[in-house]
Structure formats: C-alpha cells, structure tokens
Structure 1
Amino acid sequence: MPDDTILLARDGIRLALDGTGAVATITLCNPAKRNAQTPALWQALTEAGRLLPGTVRVAVLRAEGPSFSAGLDRQAFTPEGFDGGPSFLALGRGDAAELDATIAAYQQAFTWWRRTDLITVAAVQGHAIGAGFQLALACDLRVCADDVQFAMRETSLGLVPDLTGTKPLAELVGYARALEICVTGRVVHAEEAERTGLANAVVPAAELDAAVADLTAALLGPPRDAVNETKALLRTALTHTEPEQYAAERAAQGRRLRDLAGAAE
C-alpha cells in the first residue's frame, strides 16, 4: 500500500491521507504543550475539513503525547493574546457583532466532523479538557484509552462551553448529568465514559491505535451510500417527530432500492 500523503501540516495539526484515499487522519501534534488549542489551530482544523478529498469515508482524529488536548491555551487570556490575533479579553471589550462572528468562525473547526458524507472517530487518551473535550464530542464515535480524563472547565473560568459541545454532550449522557459535568468541572474517567455512552469503547492505552484501526476497517465494510444515508437518519432521529422520521426512512430506503435496482440492470 502506498505511504500516507500529508495534505496539511501547520499550527499544531497534521492532515494525512492513507494510500487508499478512504481514510484521513488528523493529528494534534504539539505534545510539548499537551496539544493546547489556539485560534490558529482552529483555523487549521477548519482548513483540514475543507481539504478532505471526496474519496474519504472515515476521518480519524488522534493526538501525539500523553494528552489528547488540555484545552484552550491560557495565553488567550493574557493582554497580548496570540501573535496575529487579539486576546480574548480584547474581544470581550469589542463590538458584540464582531465577537459573535469570531466565535462562529472558531466553531467551524468543530462542526464539519458531523457531515453525513463521512464518519469521524476520535482516539482519545489522557486529558481531554474543555476545548479538548468538545473536540472529542465533535466526532461521531470515540475510542478511549483507559487513562482518559474528560472534563469541562469553562465555568470555573467564568465562561461556558461554546465550541459546539453542549448538544452532543446532553444527547449522549442526558441533561442532568451534562449539567452536573459542566458546572462542577469534575473529571469523567474511562469507566463512566463507557457506561454513559461518551466512549464507544475503552481499551488499554497501548492498544488504542489498533482498536481504532479495527473500527475503521469495520466502518469501511458496508457500501458508502448506505452508511451515509444511515448516518443522516440517525442525526435527525432525536429532533424529528415520529411521522417525520418515518417519512425520512421511507425516502432514504427508496433511494437505496432504486440505486440497487439500477445497478442490477
């Protein structure tokens, strides 16, 4: 099999495409800072989503080092902020519309993982704190090492989780548990993560890459169109009324049967 092709490498991430073109791997690659997140990293993640070729069926998110991501780089709250961008304190003093647009741009790094034309898998080890927790939640599936530690620490800073993590968290664990996790900022360890549905699987840390590879192979097994239609149906299942969902199922199955009939001619 041909070697992986690097499509992007900047600002703490690396995007690689495997030799088949079906699997993309996005790696957080700043282990010296525990993969702390910055606006530049979010811009790179957004670009990675745009660069994915149409051949990609599975996108794997992983991280180098002992921590998946320790969350937001605290330099955001210093007066000087980051090179090439304002500090968060300066944003808070600025125009409300500009602040809203800036946060919306940051959120784009977290939204493309839910596209219905691919399945996204997060391989999570060690700390996944704040923005790191929300990035793991952005993916469809999470395979976790047994040392994983999820936590939302935004409220302790006087903030809220604003990187699209509140909806998937509440959907996975329920409103009451999601509220308690976010407000207390406590750590969710591997056993609880698997029991409550945050983790699809928990494995020893040394087996994380192999477990993700096995899951990826299984996800590539069924025909792509059937997988994409199924993902789309499940994404609307909790918001549609029963008649709406039944109609969506009929329409999707109609498309599949017509495609199968056409292929058999």
Structure 2
Amino acid sequence: MAEVVHGGSAEEISLAEVGLRFEVDGEIATITLARPEKRNAQTFATWSALARIGDDLPQQVRVVVVRGEGPSFSAGIDLRMFTPEGVPGQGSFASTATLRGEAFDERIAQAQQGFMWLRRPDIVSIAAVQGHAVGAGFQLALACDLRILADDAKLCMKEPALGLVPDLTGTKPLVDLVGLSRAVEICLTARTVGAEEAARIGLAELVVAPGDLTQAVRDLAAALLATNRDAATATKRLLQGASGRTLEEQCAAERQEQMARIKALFG
C-alpha cells in the first residue's frame, strides 16, 4: 500500500492502483512501472509508493531492479498534473502551489524519498531502460547505481522545457556521471540522448538489443550477488563517500572499513 496526500488528508491505495508491481525472488527485488498505456507516466502516488517500497524492503534483498512495462521505461510526469483538475484523488501542480512554507518543501521532499533509497549502500540498484526515459523517468534511472539500456533507449531531461527544474534527485548523479558542462547542455536544451551516446558519456554501463535486456539484467544481478554481502556494502559506502573526502580522509575510511572486515572474517 502507498499513502497519498491530497487536500490535507491521506489515504491508502494499492500498488496496482498506482501502476506499480513489486516482486521479490530471493535476494532480487523487481519494481515494475506498469502503466504501459500511459508510457509509465509518474504521479504523486507513484513517488509515495516507491518510498513505501523502500521503507518496507525485505532484509534479504541485495539487488533492486527497476523496469518499465511495455515499449517505454517512463515518459515522465503524468501530463494531467499540469491541468487544473490534476490526477483524480491526487491533485495537481496548481493545488501544490497553494501550499506554504514547510508544507510545500515537505511535499517535494516526500516525492524525493521515492528515489533516494535506491542509493542505499546495502543494496545495488539497476535500471533496465528501454524506449523513453523522460524527465522523472530519466531521474529514476539516474537514481539507480547502474543502468543497462536497450539500444532503442531515449533519455531526456524535459523539466526545464516545461518551466520546472529536475527535482527528483537527478541533478547530482547527472553531474557526477557526465560533468557540469555536459549536464548543463543536456538539461537546458532538453535534447534526447540516445543509447549509444549514453554509454559513451557514462550514463550507461551496457547497451544491448531490446530482446536481450532482461537477460543482461539477470546476468549483472547474478554477478553482483556473487560478492560477499558485507564487503559489497562496505565498498559501496566507501565509493559513495570518496568524492567528498581528501585522499588522506579516504585512506582513513578504508582503514576503518577494512579493520571491520578483517575482524568479521578472522577475529
């Protein structure tokens, strides 16, 4: 179930109503955006549901796969959110604009939580991207640690062209992956980045034929699961913190993590 806030009240709705599926097979969890008739467009309820999945993720899960049903990964924000009527039961950007102060900030923060947890050091997240990954869809792919693209994938940061900014945690990973200048160019032109270019500039780890996407994700998940879980968590934690540390600070962090691993293995 996911909690959706609108008009000052909250209600519980099912993942199916939101257009999501969540499945767990051993140590692998799969989140499927399942509104193919809407090209897996996202709403406030989508983001609330993603956050709830993260909160309730079973402890045994080590790999999380995010995929889209049908020909598109996600076409981004449901365009009904731009209308005065909005999405039934969820409101619109117009109704959100009436919020004030902390309530307005909290509304956006709640949406961001649906993306933030995919970076947790105890899991590795994989985006399996085919077709369009636009705006919120592109940011969802960027929220994952790794991206495998079908060769028909089309990435686009559409928000600036719509008068908005990318606010679903996508700006930092985009800059980290491609650098500031390229990130500015991609966002402010709102152009499409194809799969081949995405791989060349660091937005994808692998590009495969659409029919090979599922197997490529399975193979990567299997390789990740072959690594000791605690060592994988500690290593990801080190890598995530590296950009914010000096070399000396990173060496100290490595020592702390390694002492814990040696004690666990041989103490």
- Mark yes or no: TM-score above 0.5: yes
Deviation of 1:85 after TM superposition, in Å, equals 2.7
In structure 2, the residue matched to 1:94 is 99
- Residue 238 (1) aligns with residue 235 (2): no
In structure 1, the residue matched to 2:265 is 260
Deviation of 1:9 after TM superposition, in Å, equals 4.0
SS of the residue 2:29 aligns to: strand
Q: Letter of the 2:241 partner, please give it.
A: T
Match of 2:88 among 83, 89, 92: 83
SS of the residue 2:97 aligns to: helix
In 2, are the aligned partners of 1:9 and 1:15 still within 8 Å (CA)?
Answer: no
In structure 1, the residue matched to 2:33 is 28
Deviation of 1:111 after TM superposition, in Å, equals 0.3
Q: Letter of the 1:180 partner, please give it.
A: E
Deviation of 1:8 after TM superposition, in Å, equals 5.4
Residues matched between the structures, number: 254
Structure 2 CA distance for aligned equivalents of residues 47 and 97 of structure 1? 21
- Residue 117 (1) aligns with residue 141 (2): no
The structure-2 alpha-carbon separation of the partners of 1:259 and 1:131, relative to structure 1 and needing over 3 Å to count, comes to same
Compute the RMSD of aligned alpha carbons: 1.2
Structure 2 CA distance for aligned equivalents of residues 106 and 59 of structure 1? 19
Structure 1 CA distance for aligned equivalents of residues 41 and 48 of structure 2? 14
Alignment of structure 1 residues 160-239 onto 2, 5 Å: 160-239=165-244
Structure 2 CA distance for aligned equivalents of residues 248 and 10 of structure 1? 44
Residues 11-57 of structure 1 deviation map (CA, whole Å, 9 limit, x = unaligned): 11111011xx2110111111000000001111111111122111001
Structure 2 CA distance for aligned equivalents of residues 28 and 127 of structure 1? 13
- Residue 16 (1) aligns with residue 23 (2): yes
- Residue 158 (1) aligns with residue 158 (2): no
SS of the residue 1:52 aligns to: coil
Structure 2 CA distance for aligned equivalents of residues 9 and 240 of structure 1? 43
In 2, are the aligned partners of 1:46 and 1:108 still within 8 Å (CA)?
Answer: yes
Deviation of 1:178 after TM superposition, in Å, equals 0.4
SS of the residue 1:93 aligns to: coil
Structure 2 CA distance for aligned equivalents of residues 52 and 129 of structure 1? 26
What TM-score do you get using the length of structure 1 for normalisation? Answer: 0.93
Residues 68-121 of structure 1 deviation map (CA, whole Å, 9 limit, x = unaligned): 000000111111112223310222233132211100001000100000111000
In structure 2, the residue matched to 1:71 is 76
Name structure 2 gaps, 5 residues minimum: 1-13
Structure 2 CA distance for aligned equivalents of residues 153 and 240 of structure 1? 33
Match of 2:52 among 23, 47, 55: 47
In structure 1, the residue matched to 2:9 is none
What TM-score do you get using the length of structure 2 for normalisation? Answer: 0.93
